[in-house]
Amino acid sequence: MTSIRDPLWNTIVVDAVARRLIDTPVFQRLRYVRQLGLAHLVYPGATHTRFEHALGAYHLARRTLGVLDDRRELDAIPPDERGVVIAAALLHDVGHHPFSHALEEIGAQHHEVAARPLITQGPIADELRASIAPDAPERVYALIRGQSASPLQGLISGSLDLDKIEYLKRDAFMCGVPYGEIDVDRLINALTVVHDAGRVTIGVLEKGLSALESLLFAKYQMYRNVYWHHAVRSATAMYKRLVDDAIRDGALDDSALSSLTDEGLLHVLDTASNAPLLDALRTRRLYKRAFECAAGDLPDGAGDWIAVELDRVRATEDALARRLGLASGEVLLDFPEKPQMLGLDLPVRLRGGQVHRLTREGLRGSINLPVLSDELYRSARVLRVFVARPVSLGEDAIRSLLG
């Protein structure tokens, strides 16, 4: 066993299998991929990486399985499933692109899809097969994709998975903000194995609902104040335009993104055509807001295409730029989308032993968390127009934009 000192969890104990997985080049790349992308331009402490987050998720997986094992809730689960779950927690981010999730917003392959060959082929797959089970790589990948039939699927991908608990605590800690105050011990001890709708799955004990509320509010506050902070989104929009320009110009192969580090990608962009935009990003001369409006103040569905129709977004940006007397690339639209940002759908074991699924109907005697999560999401999501130079963007332009 190896002990690793961590600023959040103090000591993380790593077993021999995990140590060998960590030592692979695929995993070591995560040392050079920032967890929060360009958020360090706003919160200087946000320079932590996917590497330490993955170690933290591994640590929480070991802790949680220990709790479930002590309660004899894992007795009916095959012994090798524990090793598969722990490996999935450790490896869940190995396919991440440089600078966090930003490139998925311009159509780059989702990091979970990009992880498939990294987990099911090569040295990671060899280690998983030799140390856990012959089919371990495929089982690990299924857990990461949320497509496993394992009763423990919810620990890796679900409404209350360990990834969420870890990144919210770590991101808040490293940013120096008070929004990630989650009762982690209560949440982990409230996780339980339940029988729900004819299958065995991960649920939560009723006594853990207050801790679940703290997770929901922490996530909302982190999106509102950190992940979707206006300056973070400005930098992200600039970065997305830079990468998209480089791909369209042939200077960057999008299939290689999951093998690059943050600095490696910036080096590639040095050879691309949009040098002024890259220089502005590096020197923190961020585009300013010409317009912003919360999703809750817009008609349902208005502007949703901004998050998914890349060609239409570029055409609209350039048309607005011409209308405002700006150059191509000096107007950027931003309307982030993450439908599962505050999604909740999981079984709750009541004090009397009955299992009730926490869906949109809520739970008698408690806050209707699913409905509340929808409202919080709408208030955190903001439509913005960023510009390189001060301009006046009138109501007519906004109306035509949303049409």
317-340, pLDDT tens digit by residue? 999 999 889 999 999 999 988 766
Per-residue model confidence (pLDDT) at position 158? 84
**pLDDT value of position 342:** 56
- 128 versus 268: the higher-pLDDT residue is 128
Output the six-digit token pair for 296.
């809750």
Higher-confidence residue of 270 and 156: namely 156
The pLDDT value given to residue 383: 92
Average pLDDT on 299-304 reads: 84
β-pair type (199-205, 191-196): antiparallel
More confident: 80 or 337: 80
Domains in the chain, CATH or no CATH each: 2-226 (1.10.3210.10)
- Specify the range with the lowest mean pLDDT, choosing from 108-122, 148-162, 266-280: 266-280
Place of tokens 């207050």: 210
Tell me what the pLDDT averaged over the chain comes to: 90
DSSP secondary-structure letter at 349?
E
- Kindly report the number of other CB atoms within 10 A of residue 184's CB atom: 21
pLDDT at 391: 87
CA separation for the pair 251, 254 (Å, rounded): 10
pLDDT digits (tens, 9 = 90+) for 376-389: 888 889 999 999 99
Residue 276: its pLDDT value, please? Answer: 87
CB 336 within 8 A of CB 381: yes
Residue entry with tokens 């339940």:
194
DSSP summary character for residue 383: E
**Burial of residue 403, with CB atoms counted within 10 A of its CB: 0-12 exposed, 13-18 middle, 19 or more buried:** exposed
| pLDDT in the model for residue 213 | 83
Q: How high is the pLDDT of residue 149?
A: 93
pLDDT in tens, 193-252: 998 878 899 999 998 888 888 888 888 899 999 999 999 999 999 999 999 999 888 888
Asked if residue 256 has pLDDT above 90, the reply is: no
In the prediction, which pLDDT does 360 show? 56
Q: What mean pLDDT do residues 244-261 have?
A: 87
Q: In the chain, how long is the greatest CA-to-CA distance?
A: 68
Residue 363 reports pLDDT greater than 80: no
Distances (CA, A) of 266 to 46, 239, 283, 362: 18, 10, 13, 46
Q: Is 70 exceeded by the pLDDT of residue 60?
A: yes
With tokens 């692109």, the residue in question is: 97
pLDDT for position 21 = 98
- Structure-block tokens of residue 69: 């094992």
8 Å CB contact between 169 and 8:
yes
Confidence of residue 152 (pLDDT cuts 50, 70, 90): very high
Question: With the C-alpha atoms ordered 161, 163, 164, 166, is the resulting torsion angle positive or negative?
Answer: positive
Q: What is the dihedral of CA 354, 357, 360, 362, to 10 degrees?
A: 30
The pLDDT of residue 101 is 81
In this predicted structure, what is the pLDDT of residue 30? Answer: 97
pLDDT value for 358 = 75
Per-residue model confidence (pLDDT) at position 376? 80
pLDDT tens sequence across 5-42: 999 999 999 999 999 999 999 999 999 999 999 999 99
H or E stretch at 371: helix 369-380
Q: What is the pLDDT of residue 285?
A: 96
Phi, psi of 157 (to 5 degrees): -145, 110
Placement of tokens 């695929």 in the chain? 26
Contact 196, 203 (CB under 8 A): yes
Are 58 and 21 spatial neighbours (Cβ–Cβ below 8 Å)? no
Q: Between these two residues, 400 and 12, which has the higher pLDDT value? A: 12
Please give the full DSSP string across 282-337, using - where no structure is assigned.
HTT-PPEEEEEEEGGGS-TTTTGGGGT-HHHHHHHHHHHHHHHT--TTSEEEE---
Residue 280 and residue 327: Cα distance in Å, rounded?
15
pLDDT score recorded for residue 144: 96
pTM of the model: 0.93
Looking at residue 307, its pLDDT comes to 85
- Weakest mean pLDDT among 113-117, 229-233, 315-319, 396-400: 396-400
Q: How far apart are CA 15 and CA 2, in angstroms?
A: 6
- Three-state DSSP at 389 gives coil
**Alpha-carbon gap, residue 387 to 280, rounded angstroms:** 12
Amino acid at 358: L
